[in-house]
Structures are given as structure tokens and as C-alpha cells.
């Protein structure tokens, strides 16, 4: 019942000419004032024959937080994982259209995946520290990229843990197993691990969805601190969270981008009926 109502609304897209002008205006403001870091153009993605993304176009500004929201299964993770080509690991995935980072097409022939993933870090929904010490977790990235000098590694580990706001809690036990940390600490360790390779972009897929409220607010604070230095894209199903941490928000529904705009505007004056229904909790 619920979904059939929602479906109807999709089949009858009703952007009036008024809202259309607004969209264009907004986009112009964004482009004029903000450098675009990631540009997604006409992206369609198939899992085998299942079409998971329908012609996505979205420009993600540099050094800001962009939130992807939408009901479960609408393709948020799929799009996020296209930005560091994580979907390449899944058999039968095909993608058309283009995604550029700093105007460089990351799906062009000959793109070095290792280089790409060094520039685009990722934090997963479920924290996934390696079964190694805290130190070795953070040092893993720098080490595989060729840093061997102990002083340099020490420094990177220290700085990354500081940035992830974990240093104070673990400085006395850097060489104990990362698996002994609490869930929230493990997630911050994963953030530190991602920061240690010095990325420009940080992709976060529901990074706090498995955490208690206190750990969640720590992660949110952390995002607030990192936003000035990194381009952050965060998937969340928690709209309050999106409202709290992001500068712009994109709302997805069934594989399509319904609306994207400044977070404040999207939450207070959504242009699309579907967006309004979703953020007011009428579906999803």
C-alpha cells in the first residue's frame, strides 16, 4: 500500500517550471562559489541485468560534506562505491556514464585503481579493523604504499589517530589488538586508518549506523572537524544526522536522484513532493 503510493508519485514527476528555474539557479550558485571535486554524469549501473542506478547527475563540491539519503535499497551505497570503484570487485557490474575527480575520469582506460583508492578513502558501515595491533592497522596503508621508515610511520600513526580523535584513548596500548577496542573506537580507528594514506576524498557508508548514541555523536563531531580538509560524502538513513553534519544533501529514490541541494533548503523547503514525503516520514 505504502509503496504503491510512493510509486505513483514517481511515475508522475511534477517539477513545475518554477521549481526548475530554482534548481538551475542553485546549481549556478554552487558552481560559482564552490569548486567541484567529484562530478557524476549520466551514471547508470547494472548488477547483471538489474539496473541499480538510473542516469545519476550530481556535482559534489570540494571540502564540504555531502549526504546521500533515501530509503534502503535506493542505491546510495552503490553510487558511493562507484566513486572509489569498489564495485569493480563484484562480478557482473557494469557502469556507463562518467565520474570525474578533479576533472579526471576515474573510469577512463588505464586509470590506476591503487592511486585512485589512495586519493579516495572509505569508511564502511560495519567497522572492519584488521586483526592486528592498533598501530599496524593505521600503518597498513602507508606501508603498502612504500613507507618503511619507522619515524615517519610513527608520525603518521600519531597524527592520524589524533585527527580521528582516538589518540588519547589508545596512546598507551598502540600495540594491543585493535579487536579489543569498543565498537565506536573501532570505527574511529577505521577513520584513522583511512586518513593515514592522506586521501582527498572520504566516503562514509552509514559510518554510525551500528553505534550507540554517544559514539555516533563522536563520529559526527569528527566529521565536523574533517570537513574543512577533505571532501566528504556520507550515506545515512538518519535524516537528523544528515541535517546535522552535511552542507548539501542528495535524496535518492529507487535508483534515481530525486533532488539535491543545500541541506538547510532541502530540509526546510524541499522542491519535490517525494523528498518532502520522505523527510517528513511519510514513507521509507
Per CB under 8 A, residues contacting other proteins are 84, 86, 89, 113-118, 121-122, 124, 126, 128-132, 140-141, 144-145, 177, 179, 190, 193-194, 197
SS in 3 state form for 148-163? CCHHHHHHHHHHHHHH
Q: Strand, coil or helix: what is 190?
A: helix
The grid coordinates listed for 168 are 588519547
At residue 219, φ and ψ (nearest 5 deg) are -65, -40
- By the 8 A CB rule, do 66 and 80 touch? no
* Cα gap 145→76, rounded to integer Å: 29
Q: Which is nearer to other proteins, 53 or 178 (CB)?
A: 178
Q: Which is nearer to Mg ion, 77 or 215 (CB)?
A: 77
Minimum distance between the CB of residue 89 and other proteins, rounded to whole angstroms? 6
Minimum distance between the CB of residue 150 and ligand ADP, rounded to whole angstroms? 40
Tell me how long the chain is.
284
Query: Rule CB under 6 A: is residue 214 a binding residue for ligand ADP?
Result: no
Q: Which is nearer to ligand ADP, 83 or 134 (CB)?
A: 83
231-235 sheet: strands from edge to edge? 120-123, 201-205, 231-235, 65-69, 248-253, 256-262
- By the 8 A CB rule, do 236 and 68 touch? yes
Q: In the beta sheet, which residues pair with residue 133?
A: 177
- By the 8 A CB rule, do 156 and 138 touch? yes
The 64-93 site mask, x for binding ligand ADP (CB under 6 A), equals ------x-xxxxxxx-----------x---
Q: Which is nearer to Mg ion, 77 or 160 (CB)?
A: 77
The grid coordinates listed for 120 are 579516495
Alpha-carbon dihedral 91, 95, 99, 101, rounded to 10 degrees = 20
Minimum distance between the CB of residue 84 and other proteins, rounded to whole angstroms? 6
Pick the binder of Mg ion from 77, 263, 274, 275 (CB under 5 A).
77
Q: Which does 128 bind (CB under 5 to 8 A by kind): other proteins, Mg ion, ligand ADP, none?
A: other proteins
Q: Which is nearer to ligand ADP, 127 or 236 (CB)?
A: 236
Query: Rule CB under 6 A: is residue 49 a binding residue for ligand ADP?
Result: no
Q: Which does 73 bind (CB under 5 to 8 A by kind): other proteins, ligand ADP, Mg ion, none?
A: ligand ADP
Minimum distance between the CB of residue 138 and other proteins, rounded to whole angstroms? 10
- By the 8 A CB rule, do 260 and 58 touch? yes
Contacting residues toward Mg ion, per CB under 5 A? 77
Contacting residues toward ligand ADP, per CB under 6 A? 47, 50, 52, 70, 72-78, 90
Amino acid at each position: 500500500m505504502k509503496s504503491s503510493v510512493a510509486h505513483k508519485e514517481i511515475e508522475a514527476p511534477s517539477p513545475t517550471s518554477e521549481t526548475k528555474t530554482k534548481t538551475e539557479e542553485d546549481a549556478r550558485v554552487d558552481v560559482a562559489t564552490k569548486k567541484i571535486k567529484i562530478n557524476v554524469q549520466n551514471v547508470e549501473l547494472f548488477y547483471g541485468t538489474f539496473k541499480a542506478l538510473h542516469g545519476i547527475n550530481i556535482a559534489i563540491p570540494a571540502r564540504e560534506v555531502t549526504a546521500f539519503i533515501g530509503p534502503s535499497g535506493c542505491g546510495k551505497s552503490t553510487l558511493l562505491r562507484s566513486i572509489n570503484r569498489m564495485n569493480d570487485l563484484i562480478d557482473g557490474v557494469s557502469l556507463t556514464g562518467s565520474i570525474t575527480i578533479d576533472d579526471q575520469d576515474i573510469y577512463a582506460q588505464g586509470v590506476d585503481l591503487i592511486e585512485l583508492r589512495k586519493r579516495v578513502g572509505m569508511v564502511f558501515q560495519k567497522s572492519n579493523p584488521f586483526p592486528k595491533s592498533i598501530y599496524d592497522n593505521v600503518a597498513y596503508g602507508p606501508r603498502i604504499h612504500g613507507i618503511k621508515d619507522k619515524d615517519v610511520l610513527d608520525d603518521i600513526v600519531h597524527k592520524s589517530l589524533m585527527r580521528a580523535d582516538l589518540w588519547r584513548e589508545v596512546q598507551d596500548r598502540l600495540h594491543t589488538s585493535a579487536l579489543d577496542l569498543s565498537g565506536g573506537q573501532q570505527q574511529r580507528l577505521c577513520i584513522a586508518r583511512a586518513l593515514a594514506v592522506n586521501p582527498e576524498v572520504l566516503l562514509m557508508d552509514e559510518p554510525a549506523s551500528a553505534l550507540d548514541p554517544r559514539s555516533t555523536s563522536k563520529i559526527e563531531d569528527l566529521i565536523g572537524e574533517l570537513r574543512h580538509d577533505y571532501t566528504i560524502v556520507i550515506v545515512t538513513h538518519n535524516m537528523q544526522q544528515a541535517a546535522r553534519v552535511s552542507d548539501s544533501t542528495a535524496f535518492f529514490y529507487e535508483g534515481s536522484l530525486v533532488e539535491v541541494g543545500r541541506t538547510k533548503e532541502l530540509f526546510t523547503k524541499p522542491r519535490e513532493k517525494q523528498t518532502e514525503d520522505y523527510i517528513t516520514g511519510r514513507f521509507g
